[in-house]
Chains A and B, each alone.
Chain A
Amino acid sequence: QKEVEQDPGPLSVPEGAIVSLNCTYSNSAFQYFMWYRQYSRKGPELLMYTYSSGNKEDGRFTAQVDKSSKYISLFIRDSQPSDSATYLCAIPNDYKLSFGAGTTVTVRA
Protein backbone atom coordinates (compact mmCIF):
# COMPACT_ATOMS: atom_id res chain seq x y z
CA GLN A 1 0.00 0.00 0.00
CA LYS A 2 1.31 3.45 -0.93
CA GLU A 3 1.92 5.83 1.95
CA VAL A 4 -0.03 8.63 0.25
CA GLU A 5 -2.72 8.21 -2.40
CA GLN A 6 -4.03 11.03 -4.54
CA ASP A 7 -6.40 10.98 -7.51
CA PRO A 8 -4.33 12.36 -10.42
CA GLY A 9 -7.39 13.83 -12.15
CA PRO A 10 -7.20 15.82 -14.34
CA LEU A 11 -9.73 18.31 -13.04
CA SER A 12 -11.21 21.07 -15.21
CA VAL A 13 -13.44 23.74 -13.65
CA PRO A 14 -14.87 27.11 -14.76
CA GLU A 15 -13.46 30.30 -13.27
CA GLY A 16 -15.04 31.07 -9.91
CA ALA A 17 -15.79 27.45 -9.03
CA ILE A 18 -14.65 25.71 -5.85
CA VAL A 19 -11.87 23.21 -6.42
CA SER A 20 -11.76 20.21 -4.08
CA LEU A 21 -8.60 18.07 -3.89
CA ASN A 22 -8.12 15.02 -1.70
CA CYS A 23 -5.50 12.59 -0.45
CA THR A 24 -5.57 9.57 1.81
CA TYR A 25 -2.66 8.24 3.83
CA SER A 26 -1.87 4.91 5.39
CA ASN A 27 0.06 5.62 8.59
CA SER A 28 -1.96 6.96 11.50
CA ALA A 29 1.29 8.20 13.10
CA PHE A 30 1.67 10.95 10.50
CA GLN A 31 1.28 14.32 12.20
CA TYR A 32 2.14 16.98 9.67
CA PHE A 33 0.54 17.55 6.29
CA MET A 34 1.43 19.82 3.39
CA TRP A 35 0.14 20.95 0.06
CA TYR A 36 2.48 22.02 -2.73
CA ARG A 37 1.59 23.70 -6.01
CA GLN A 38 3.64 23.00 -9.11
CA TYR A 39 3.30 25.01 -12.28
CA SER A 40 4.30 23.39 -15.55
CA ARG A 41 8.09 22.94 -15.85
CA LYS A 42 8.72 24.47 -12.41
CA GLY A 43 9.61 23.16 -8.97
CA PRO A 44 6.91 22.64 -6.34
CA GLU A 45 6.15 25.59 -4.06
CA LEU A 46 4.77 25.18 -0.57
CA LEU A 47 1.16 26.31 -0.42
CA MET A 48 -0.05 25.30 3.03
CA TYR A 49 0.82 23.06 5.94
CA THR A 50 -1.04 21.92 9.00
CA TYR A 51 -0.24 19.92 12.13
CA SER A 52 -3.64 19.06 13.41
CA SER A 53 -7.09 17.95 12.54
CA GLY A 54 -9.59 20.54 11.43
CA ASN A 55 -9.39 23.43 9.02
CA LYS A 56 -6.71 25.98 8.23
CA GLU A 57 -7.47 28.93 5.99
CA ASP A 58 -5.15 31.14 3.98
CA GLY A 59 -6.96 33.52 1.68
CA ARG A 60 -8.86 31.50 -0.91
CA PHE A 61 -7.23 28.24 0.24
CA THR A 62 -8.46 25.92 3.00
CA ALA A 63 -6.61 22.82 4.13
CA GLN A 64 -8.59 20.21 6.03
CA VAL A 65 -7.34 17.17 7.94
CA ASP A 66 -9.45 14.29 9.23
CA LYS A 67 -7.09 12.06 11.18
CA SER A 68 -9.80 9.56 12.10
CA SER A 69 -10.32 8.84 8.39
CA LYS A 70 -6.67 9.51 7.39
CA TYR A 71 -7.98 11.96 4.81
CA ILE A 72 -6.65 15.39 3.84
CA SER A 73 -8.27 17.95 1.57
CA LEU A 74 -7.47 21.25 -0.09
CA PHE A 75 -10.23 23.60 -1.20
CA ILE A 76 -9.71 26.56 -3.51
CA ARG A 77 -12.51 29.12 -3.47
CA ASP A 78 -13.25 31.53 -6.32
CA SER A 79 -10.76 29.71 -8.54
CA GLN A 80 -8.81 31.74 -11.07
CA PRO A 81 -7.05 30.74 -14.31
CA SER A 82 -3.77 31.44 -12.47
CA ASP A 83 -4.63 28.53 -10.14
CA SER A 84 -4.15 26.13 -13.07
CA ALA A 85 -1.34 23.87 -11.85
CA THR A 86 -0.62 20.47 -10.35
CA TYR A 87 -1.36 20.21 -6.64
CA LEU A 88 0.56 17.69 -4.56
CA CYS A 89 -0.13 16.56 -1.03
CA ALA A 90 2.97 15.69 0.95
CA ILE A 91 3.63 14.10 4.32
CA PRO A 92 6.97 14.12 6.17
CA ASN A 93 8.11 10.56 6.79
CA ASP A 94 11.55 9.74 8.22
CA TYR A 95 12.88 13.17 7.21
CA LYS A 96 11.80 12.78 3.61
CA LEU A 97 8.54 13.87 2.03
CA SER A 98 6.15 11.24 0.70
CA PHE A 99 4.11 12.76 -2.09
CA GLY A 100 0.79 11.95 -3.64
CA ALA A 101 0.72 11.55 -7.41
CA GLY A 102 -0.50 15.14 -7.85
CA THR A 103 -3.80 16.39 -9.27
CA THR A 104 -3.64 18.56 -12.39
CA VAL A 105 -6.18 21.38 -12.24
CA THR A 106 -7.25 23.59 -15.14
CA VAL A 107 -9.41 26.64 -14.42
CA ARG A 108 -11.19 27.77 -17.60
CA ALA A 109 -11.70 31.50 -18.09
Chain B
Amino acid sequence: EAGVTQSPTHLIKTRGQQVTLRCSPISGHTSVYWYQQALGLGLQFLLWYDEGEERNRGNFPPRFSGRQFPNYSSELNVNALELEDSALYLCASSFSVGQETQYFGPGTRLLVL
Protein backbone atom coordinates (compact mmCIF):
# COMPACT_ATOMS: atom_id res chain seq x y z
CA GLU B 1 0.00 0.00 0.00
CA ALA B 2 1.42 3.39 -1.00
CA GLY B 3 1.93 5.86 1.80
CA VAL B 4 1.24 9.58 1.87
CA THR B 5 3.05 11.33 -0.97
CA GLN B 6 4.04 14.97 -1.19
CA SER B 7 5.46 17.16 -3.92
CA PRO B 8 7.79 18.82 -4.48
CA THR B 9 10.46 17.50 -2.10
CA HIS B 10 12.37 20.76 -1.99
CA LEU B 11 11.56 24.33 -2.93
CA ILE B 12 13.43 27.62 -2.84
CA LYS B 13 11.48 30.86 -3.02
CA THR B 14 12.11 34.51 -2.31
CA ARG B 15 10.26 36.76 0.10
CA GLY B 16 6.88 37.92 -1.17
CA GLN B 17 6.39 35.01 -3.57
CA GLN B 18 3.62 32.45 -3.41
CA VAL B 19 3.99 28.67 -3.16
CA THR B 20 1.73 25.63 -3.59
CA LEU B 21 2.48 22.31 -1.96
CA ARG B 22 0.69 19.10 -2.84
CA CYS B 23 -0.29 15.98 -0.92
CA SER B 24 -1.90 12.67 -1.81
CA PRO B 25 -3.28 10.69 1.13
CA ILE B 26 -3.19 6.97 1.63
CA SER B 27 -5.85 5.28 -0.48
CA GLY B 28 -9.12 5.16 1.45
CA HIS B 29 -8.17 8.00 3.81
CA THR B 30 -10.51 10.99 3.71
CA SER B 31 -8.88 13.33 6.22
CA VAL B 32 -5.76 15.34 5.38
CA TYR B 33 -3.77 17.40 7.85
CA TRP B 34 -0.98 19.92 7.29
CA TYR B 35 1.75 20.66 9.80
CA GLN B 36 4.71 23.01 9.82
CA GLN B 37 8.02 21.89 11.35
CA ALA B 38 10.28 24.91 11.68
CA LEU B 39 13.70 24.75 13.29
CA GLY B 40 13.37 25.11 17.02
CA LEU B 41 9.57 25.29 16.97
CA GLY B 42 8.57 21.66 16.64
CA LEU B 43 5.57 20.35 14.74
CA GLN B 44 2.74 22.88 14.59
CA PHE B 45 -0.74 22.08 13.30
CA LEU B 46 -1.77 24.18 10.30
CA LEU B 47 -4.97 22.88 8.70
CA TRP B 48 -7.32 19.89 8.61
CA TYR B 49 -9.49 18.94 5.65
CA ASP B 50 -12.11 16.24 5.51
CA GLU B 51 -14.56 15.46 2.70
CA GLY B 52 -13.49 18.61 0.86
CA GLU B 53 -14.14 20.97 3.77
CA GLU B 54 -11.76 22.84 6.06
CA ARG B 55 -12.57 21.45 9.54
CA ASN B 56 -9.99 23.04 11.78
CA ARG B 57 -7.22 25.60 11.58
CA GLY B 58 -4.15 26.22 13.68
CA ASN B 59 -2.78 29.54 14.85
CA PHE B 60 -1.46 30.72 11.48
CA PRO B 61 -2.27 33.85 9.45
CA PRO B 62 -4.80 33.75 6.58
CA ARG B 63 -2.02 33.76 3.98
CA PHE B 64 -1.79 30.04 4.78
CA SER B 65 -4.69 28.38 3.00
CA GLY B 66 -5.51 25.21 1.18
CA ARG B 67 -8.12 22.97 -0.25
CA GLN B 68 -9.06 19.35 -0.64
CA PHE B 69 -10.13 17.85 -3.94
CA PRO B 70 -12.84 15.24 -4.62
CA ASN B 71 -10.14 12.54 -4.79
CA TYR B 72 -9.08 13.63 -1.26
CA SER B 73 -5.71 15.01 -2.36
CA SER B 74 -4.88 18.42 -0.98
CA GLU B 75 -2.97 21.60 -1.67
CA LEU B 76 -1.41 24.01 0.78
CA ASN B 77 -0.94 27.56 -0.47
CA VAL B 78 1.24 30.14 1.20
CA ASN B 79 1.05 33.72 -0.07
CA ALA B 80 3.42 36.62 0.56
CA LEU B 81 6.20 34.35 1.79
CA GLU B 82 8.26 35.51 4.74
CA LEU B 83 11.70 34.33 5.83
CA GLU B 84 10.22 32.58 8.87
CA ASP B 85 8.06 30.41 6.60
CA SER B 86 11.20 28.36 5.91
CA ALA B 87 10.35 24.93 7.29
CA LEU B 88 9.48 21.34 6.54
CA TYR B 89 5.79 21.14 5.61
CA LEU B 90 4.29 17.79 6.48
CA CYS B 91 1.06 16.30 5.27
CA ALA B 92 -0.68 13.51 7.15
CA SER B 93 -3.79 11.48 6.47
CA SER B 94 -6.19 9.42 8.52
CA PHE B 95 -8.95 6.97 7.66
CA SER B 96 -11.85 9.12 8.80
CA VAL B 97 -13.01 11.79 11.18
CA GLY B 98 -12.26 10.74 14.71
CA GLN B 99 -9.58 8.30 13.64
CA GLU B 100 -6.74 9.61 15.72
CA THR B 101 -3.89 7.76 14.02
CA GLN B 102 -2.29 10.00 11.42
CA TYR B 103 0.24 8.82 8.87
CA PHE B 104 2.77 11.30 7.60
CA GLY B 105 4.37 11.91 4.25
CA PRO B 106 8.05 12.73 3.73
CA GLY B 107 7.43 16.47 3.70
CA THR B 108 8.31 19.40 1.46
CA ARG B 109 11.29 21.42 2.57
CA LEU B 110 10.73 25.11 1.81
CA LEU B 111 13.51 27.67 1.95
CA VAL B 112 12.59 31.34 1.70
CA LEU B 113 15.43 33.69 0.84
Contacts and interface: CB of A to CB of B under 8 A. Distances in A.
A43 B107 contact: yes
A97 B42 CA distance: 12
Interface stretch (B64-72, B76-84, B95-103): B95-103
Contact of B102 (A42, A94, A97): A97
Given A95-B55, A95-B97, A96-B58, A45 B104 contact: yes
B106 interface: yes
Interface size classification for chain B: 20 to 34
Contacts of A97: 33, 35, 43, 45, 92, 100, 102
Contact of B43 (A42, A46, A99): A99
A44 B107 CA distance: 9
A76 interface: no
Given A32-B100, A44-B90, A101 B42 contact: yes
B43 A95 contact: no
A95 B56 contact: yes
B96 to A, nearest CB: 11
A94 B104 contact: no
A46 B48 contact: no
A39 B96 CA distance: 27
A96 B104 contact: no
A101 to B, nearest CB: 5
Contacts of B98: 95
Contacts of B97: 95
Interface of B: 4, 31, 33, 35, 42-43, 45, 48, 55-56, 58, 90, 92, 97-98, 100-107, 109
